[in-house]
A = this chain, B = another copy of it.
Amino acid sequence: MSEQIRIGIVGFGNLGRGTVEAIKKSADMELIAIFTRRAPESLKIDEPNVEVVHISNVEDYQDKIDVMILCGGSATDLPEQGPELAKLFNTIDSYDTHAKIPEYFSSVDAVAKESGKVSIISVGWDPGLFSINRLMAEAIIPQGENYTFWGKGLSQGHSDAVRRVDGVKDGVQYTIPADAAIEKVRSGVNPELTTAEKHRRVCYIVAEEGADKAKIENEIKTMPNYFADYDTEVNFITEEVLKAEHSAAPHGGFVIRGGETGADQNKQIIEFSLKLDSNPEFTASVLVAYARAAYRMYNEGQAGAKTVFDVPPIYLSPRSAEDLRRDLL
């Protein structure tokens, strides 16, 4: 084993915890420190060789860390931390506010070009692996349509929305791809489908004692943007069942392209899918593989903001080019 890639983590929520686990499965990497805004001693981390450091001291680690993996959220953490940390480190993040990616890319790119570091933004599965599949499928079969389905998966935003309904004590929401829509797309007929036609929404709700369940159900089903346009199912369960059966964070989805080639319009279907028992652990595993890529691109002399589109697959693997050509090509 040659020298290891030294990794830092910023933020210790579900994604940060998943990143710790993913680094353990990567023999070519070493986790040096976890940075937090909280009091470092308040974090429960069972990793004797990993420092826990307040984020205000991050500059001291400039020569001790090769790649910093940013595990904060897209709403407020990353817009600030992304450009800030790109001044000091090669970075990886999972920025996922699709509409604001161009703006975020520019702000990180300016800093990283100045500092000479590589920052790969919007890494994960969507944006991330799904994006790569949308791009490659479109490039290979120019005449066709891309379809992205999400689920079955726990949606954080929609779960928050049902929990805000009057009389709801707790609850979760699953986004589920509509089977009929998937089958239509797989058949290659390239239907026109709205997001609502592609997905249904299933809620599991714990009602407050004495709450009016019919009123709760109606309020959820008619909630604009979140549920009104969708086929929505509302189930009432007990707090015990919620805890026992709905504490995991599964997710997944499909990217399907149906297209035609040649004078005879031959149908060609390309499909990529994920079925994940743990969404944060999988996303973390993608971040860690791209941390390897960032380290290599930096050592090659590259600098600036990058996305998964810019990364050759070979940079993701710890194995040699010769081994990969022999074993996996």
Contacts and interface: CB of A to CB of B under 8 A. Distances in A.
A131 B261 contact: no
A276 interface: yes
A269 interface: yes
A313 B309 CA distance: 5
Interface residues of A, number: 70
Given A309-B313, A309-B321, A261 B274 contact: no
A281 B133 CA distance: 19
A110 interface: no
A272 to B, nearest CB: 5
Interface in A310-329: 310-314, 316-318, 321-322, 324-326, 328-329
A318 B252 CA distance: 29
Interface stretch (A135-143, A161-169, A202-210): A135-143
Interface in A238-288: 252, 261-264, 266-278, 281-282, 284-286
A307 B278 contact: no
A272 B269 contact: no
Given A261-B281, A278-B266, A316-B135, A102 B308 contact: no
Contact of A18 (B262, B272, B285, B324): B262
Interface stretch (A20-28, A61-69, A79-87, A151-159): A20-28
Contact of A277 (B267, B272, B282, B324): B267
A328 B135 contact: yes
Interface string A292-311: 10000000000000011111
A105 B325 contact: yes
Contacts of A310: 312, 314
B98 A329 contact: yes
Nearest to A146: B328
Contact of A21 (B188, B262, B307): B262
A237 interface: no
A130 to B, nearest CB: 9
Contacts of A26: 142
A135 B25 contact: no
A53 interface: no
A40 interface: no
B18 A261 contact: yes
Contacts of A281: 261-262, 266, 268
23 contacts: A21-B262, A21-B263, A22-B261, A25-B142, A98-B329, A132-B313, A135-B324, A136-B313, A136-B316, A139-B289, A140-B282, A140-B289, A140-B316, A141-B282, A186-B275, A266-B277, A266-B281, A267-B277, A268-B274, A268-B276, A268-B282, A270-B274, A309-B312
Given A133-B272, A269-B274, 4 more contacts: A26-B142, A262-B281, A309-B321, A311-B312
